[in-house]
Amino acid sequence: MSQTTPLPRQAAPSGRRELPEAPFLAAARGERPARTPVWFMRQAGRSLPEYRALREGVPMLDACFDPEMLAEITLQPVRRHGVDAAILFSDIVVPLKAAGVDIDIVPGTGPVAAAPVRDLAAVKALPELEPEQVSKVADGIRLLVERLGETPLIGFAGAPFTLASYLIEGGPSRNHEHTKALMHSEPELWHQLAGRLADVALTFLRAQLDAGVDAVQLFDSWAGALSERDYREFVLPHSAKVLAGVADHGVPRIHFGVGTGELLAAMRDAGADVVGVDWRIPLDEAVRRLGHSGRAPEKIAVQGNLDPALLHASWPVLEAEVRRIVEEGKAADGHVFNLGHGVLPGVDPDVLTRVVGLVHEL
Amino acid sequence: MSQTTPLPRQAAPSGRRELPEAPFLAAARGERPARTPVWFMRQAGRSLPEYRALREGVPMLDACFDPEMLAEITLQPVRRHGVDAAILFSDIVVPLKAAGVDIDIVPGTGPVAAAPVRDLAAVKALPELEPEQVSKVADGIRLLVERLGETPLIGFAGAPFTLASYLIEGGPSRNHEHTKALMHSEPELWHQLAGRLADVALTFLRAQLDAGVDAVQLFDSWAGALSERDYREFVLPHSAKVLAGVADHGVPRIHFGVGTGELLAAMRDAGADVVGVDWRIPLDEAVRRLGHSGRAPEKIAVQGNLDPALLHASWPVLEAEVRRIVEEGKAADGHVFNLGHGVLPGVDPDVLTRVVGLVHEL
């Protein structure tokens, strides 16, 4: 499917299940379902006591490769909150780990790579991902498709820039200085690395799609650290390769990064059907900016954009924010309610449940 | 001086020295001096070996209250790089510490407050700052004015929102969730706290001005975490109080935060004469946005906006970036070349010196 063809109403290649009544899928296609669908980034995880109980003593990456555990963790927020979509419990570094990269998730720090990737030898040494290496994730997805009923399942992968930053910096970075320096000073090496990481992300997403996910989200967590000029030159082609590479599956492709107000049209140009927006700009302004993308005649679908910090505010404040966002979301052809970034660890899960109820009422 | 009156060409109340030839002051007034002035945020500090030698074994806050040491640290980058302005070596929490708040700078973490400020009792217990409590800083400034010759000295303070975030969260925070929750849920308490912190910042800046600084910069490091709506409602009035409170000194007032592309006009509306811009948008686009402020007929001066990460790139890359930025800065009436955020610790100081030389040539 080319980037300029709208998604078919019910694409179901390779025996994919059809969920014609799912509000999430309708909104992601740029339609207006009977109710506004809602899910939360990081809904599966540390905000839930049942998650913390299940994960007790189990390292993060072990949980991500245990089909029963990843299925159960993915299901927990669906059961508890009644959200309109499940998001696969996984981590951005899962496909790298699966391919054999020496990387681990250090509690309190994040992903840490044993050896930073900063030269041609290191780039060439990066292994490719084979679909069999993520077979446990696929097994978990098959369990989920059986157990989720009519609730769609969103698969996900980290985008090339964000993966590259972890590998080049060797871990989480506030300033991405080595990544940006390499990108600008050695553009050929950069494009080779980002191209390989695009292949990894694509293989991971295709494995998820083959196992049955109903939509995909490409997370470019750190893209907001770049100017639009740099994003278009160094990042967009590689994210576009990933998004184009899953187009034949005919499922909605969501693309999100934090602080990307300047990049929204570029992220849509990369091939996103739904663009995630953080809380820094209102959704109606986001829709205006998305209209400047080269895909302007197509329907515009957005996802967002409640500030997750406001889940700590009083209910009247939160209610007013949710109402405002649902109202502003009407500027889009389709609106999937979500946070502007992931659920924070300290949040009261009952507040999330209440937000779901309110969004469904409006 | 009201916000709508342009700065006089040579304001010199209270015996302030006049520096009619200083390119930095001319550019900050919205003029075009013979050469583009340049300085770097965090130029005084950890990027310099002579700084690390001097600070050896001396805690950060001790250095900030030692007149000889703060003067020497402030002078080091002026001597080494030939920058067009000195920036007072200090820290955002210095006036809080001076007033008696139990706060310290923990190496590797940042400012940590012994007791988070989250209720009325804690807000009421916050001490006021008396000018005598920062007399050591004033002593250092007097030494600097003697030693700097024709190079202007920029004083600085943290803005109320950023100070509040440290106090409410108890330390550095990625998400500012308690700050945002308090702001929205208890707006009266928020405004009381922010008002008190505005008084602290104002007293600190006035003490610096009385001692002889030639310009001031109000740092609202974290303001970019807010939407424009929230910034205008909760933050702008307090930053405006600080900036208006120093207007009678007739020196340029710079205002800066990271990731504030959406807030530039609002920050100008707060009373800034010069608005700092990070690297996410080009300076000519920043000038366009600043034109939407309520102070549109006045001259527009900007400061910025080289990505500090690119100081790690190869010289040809860096040279091209510097040339582009100087070119884009011509859209403003006045342009002070700077980074889009502070100097990173690992940078080669010779690269900074070379950037100064290049900016001066162009």
Rounded alpha-carbon distances, angstroms, from residue B280 to B130, B269, B305, B308: 39, 21, 9, 12
**pTM, 2 dp:** 0.93
Residue B1: the pLDDT is 35
pLDDT-based confidence at residue A20 (cuts at 50, 70, 90): confident
Identify whether A175 is preceded by a cis peptide bond (ω within 30 of 0): no
pLDDT-based confidence at residue B16 (cuts at 50, 70, 90): confident
Is position B324 annotated as part of the catalytic site?
A: no
Q: Any known ligand binding at A238? A: no
Residue B346: closest CA among chain A residues belongs to which residue?
Answer: A177
pLDDT-based confidence at residue A83 (cuts at 50, 70, 90): very high
Q: Which pLDDT tens digit goes with each residue over A187-215? A: 999 999 999 999 999 999 999 999 999 99
pLDDT-based confidence at residue B295 (cuts at 50, 70, 90): confident
pLDDT at B358 over 50: yes
Q: Which pLDDT tens digit goes with each residue over B151-165? A: 999 999 999 999 999
pLDDT at B14 over 70: no
Mean pLDDT of all residues in A306-325: 97
Is position A166 annotated as part of the catalytic site?
A: yes
Backbone angles phi, psi at A273, to 5 degrees: -85, -30
Rounded alpha-carbon distances, angstroms, from residue A140 to A143, A180, A253, B20, B37: 5, 36, 21, 71, 60
Please name which of B261, B256, B302, B296 lies closest in space to residue B280, comparing C-alpha atoms.
B261
pLDDT at A5 over 80: no
Does an H or E element contain A329, and which? helix A315-329
CA B262 to chain CA centroid, nearest Å: 19
pLDDT-based confidence at residue B109 (cuts at 50, 70, 90): confident
pLDDT-based confidence at residue A14 (cuts at 50, 70, 90): low
Residue A266: the pLDDT is 97
pLDDT at A6 over 80: no
Q: What is the per-residue DSSP string for A2-27?
A: -TTSPPPTT--GGG----TT-HHHHH
A170 touches chain B (CB under 8 A): no
User: How far off is chain A from B321, nearest CA to CA, in Å?
Assistant: 10
- Asked if residue B310 lies in contact with residue A178, where contact means CB atoms within 8 angstroms, the answer is no
Measured between beta carbons, the chain A residues lying within 8 angstroms of B224 are 259, 280
Residue B9: the pLDDT is 39
Roughly how many angstroms between the first and final C-alpha of chain B, as a whole number? 35
Residue A109: the pLDDT is 87
Residue A2: the pLDDT is 39
Cβ contact, residue pair A317, B184, below 8 Å: yes
Position with higher pLDDT, B252 vs A3: B252
Cβ contact, residue pair B282, A229, below 8 Å: yes
Please name which of B158, B76, B152, B157 lies closest in space to residue B336, comparing C-alpha atoms.
B152
Backbone angles phi, psi at A361, to 5 degrees: -75, -30
Q: Which pLDDT tens digit goes with each residue over B176-223? A: 999 999 999 999 999 999 999 999 999 999 999 999 999 999 999 999
pLDDT-based confidence at residue B15 (cuts at 50, 70, 90): low
A227 touches chain B (CB under 8 A): yes
CA angle B156, B160, B165 (to 5 degrees): 115
Closest in B181, B262, B309 to A261, CB measured: B262
Q: Which pLDDT tens digit goes with each residue over B82-99? A: 999 999 999 999 999 999
% of chain A at pLDDT higher than 90: 89
Residue A219: the pLDDT is 97
What does the mean pLDDT of chain B come to?
A: 94
ipTM of the complex: 0.91
pLDDT at A17 over 90: no
Mean pLDDT of all residues in A263-282: 97
Q: Which pLDDT tens digit goes with each residue over A36-76? A: 999 999 999 889 999 999 999 999 999 999 999 999 999 99
